[in-house]
Amino acid sequence: MLLESACLNFAPNIRSPVATLRLEKGQKVAAKKRKTSADLLVGIDLGTARSAVVTSAGTAMWDRSLVGWPRDRVAKKLIGKSVVIGNECLQHRLALDVTRPLRDGVIRKSTTRDEAAIHALADHLLELVGADDDQRILAVIGAPAEASAYNKALLKDAFAELVDAAMVVSEPFTVAYGLDLLIDALVIDVGAGTIDLCIMRGTVPAAEDQRTIPQAGDFIDQQFMERLRAQYPQAQFTPSMAVQWKEAHAFVGDAHAGPLEVSMPVAGAPRQHDISAALRGACESILPHLREELRSLIAGFDPEFQERVRQNVLLAGGGSQIKGLDAAVEEMLEELGGGHVRVVEDPLFAGANGALAIAQDTDPEDWDRLEQAK
């Protein structure tokens, strides 16, 4: 059964950010056998860099969206398993071939390992849930907008054997829903693979209410490393080191004053290097792209309500923690008449909490219909 676009009681729309996930007939028989305990509602934020899961039982867990395979027999013996998932991939990265199932905000399926990776990540996230064997699992999965638009079938295959029914929802919508920003609001979800912008008008957002920018966290990482290599050609560092520095110190504008010194070896000897200029330039490299799409999205909205939207802008996602980004976006809004930007309080779990809120607000009859649909 193919995925269909729908959300709660809204009419199907192939370009909707929400996609309904259904079980195949053969899988349905097995699922019905464990409908004896209270349903476990699950909210999942399936991210390019990190994934989080929360449940109606109070569970709140997260892990990095990484899947790795031992490079050889020695590595497999050392690690003691054939597949490694999440943070553990960083601990053993020299002995692993590591991939991210979601790259550039899109679920990849170009190789057998790409397909295996998304299945492994899905299984890992559901293991974190800790459901009882006799519980029915009903899940709402928040995914990057591009992933939910183009990879519905792969998501269905990955989660179908693990849950009884589910819906796939774009991440900005889950964040907005969880914070009750359902009308006259703009969510800017700054992720690793993409920046997703979504205007809320009191309904499920349509395609024209959203924009996706490919220049996001991964783009910043690449820019940062290129600038470091140009500035310090003799210094040695790895992508992992650069990401750690970015996550700890990322900033734009004048949000940081003075040098940012880190240790990088030169010919094997550790030396201190100031990374502030390279880091600032890398982080600011996304601003022109964001300015262009922000202006286009707001200009295309109902002119009667543009002022309200500009005064109700929310930065979400891991990139929302870039120091000074909120002020930079407010400066962009000044070109349109001014506005107010705030940063989500819990960027790690905001999407998963919103997904859980959608699951909790879905009528039992709707879940039954999703489960029984063939």
pLDDT tens per residue across span 210-243? 889 999 999 999 999 999 999 999 999 999 999 9
Q: Kindly report the number of other CB atoms within 10 A of residue 328's CB atom.
A: 19
Q: Which two tokens stand for residue 75?
A: 């590595």
pLDDT, residue 132, reads 81
Burial class (CB in 10 A: 0-12, 13-18, 19+), 141: buried
Distance of CA 298 to the CA centre of its chain: 23
Instruction: Assess whether 222 and 91 both reside in one domain.
Output: no
**CA distance linking residue 15 with residue 5, whole number of Å:** 7
Instruction: Assess whether 155 and 19 both reside in one domain.
Output: yes
Place of tokens 């995925």: 3
Q: Which carries the bigger pLDDT value, residue 371 or residue 348?
A: 348
pLDDT digits (tens, 9 = 90+) for 319-347: 999 999 999 999 999 999 999 999 999 99
| Residues whose CB is less than 8 angstroms from the CB of residue 88 and which lie 6 or more positions away in sequence, other chains included | 68
Q: Kindly report the number of other CB atoms within 10 A of residue 227's CB atom.
A: 19
Residue 302 placed within a domain: no
Instruction: Please determine, for residue 4, whether its predicted confidence score (pLDDT) is greater than 70.
Output: no
Q: What is the mean pLDDT of residues 110-137?
A: 87
Report how many domains make up the chain. 3
Give the CATH number for residue 235.
3.30.420.40
CB environment 154-176: b (16+ within 10 A), e (fewer)? bbbbbbbebbbbbbbbbbbbbbb
- Per DSSP, the three-state class of 338 is coil
Instruction: Assess whether 121 and 268 both reside in one domain.
Output: no
Residue 149 pLDDT level (bands cut at 50, 70, 90): low
Encoded amino acid at 136, one letter: R
**CA distance linking residue 343 with residue 324, whole number of Å:** 11
Angle (CA) 157-160-166 rounded to 5° is 115
Q: Kindly report the number of other CB atoms within 10 A of residue 324's CB atom.
A: 18
Residue 58 placed within a domain: yes
Domain that holds residue 131: 4-67+103-178+350-372
Instruction: Assess whether 56 and 123 both reside in one domain.
Output: yes
Q: Kindly report the number of other CB atoms within 10 A of residue 113's CB atom.
A: 14
Instruction: Assess whether 169 and 275 both reside in one domain.
Output: no
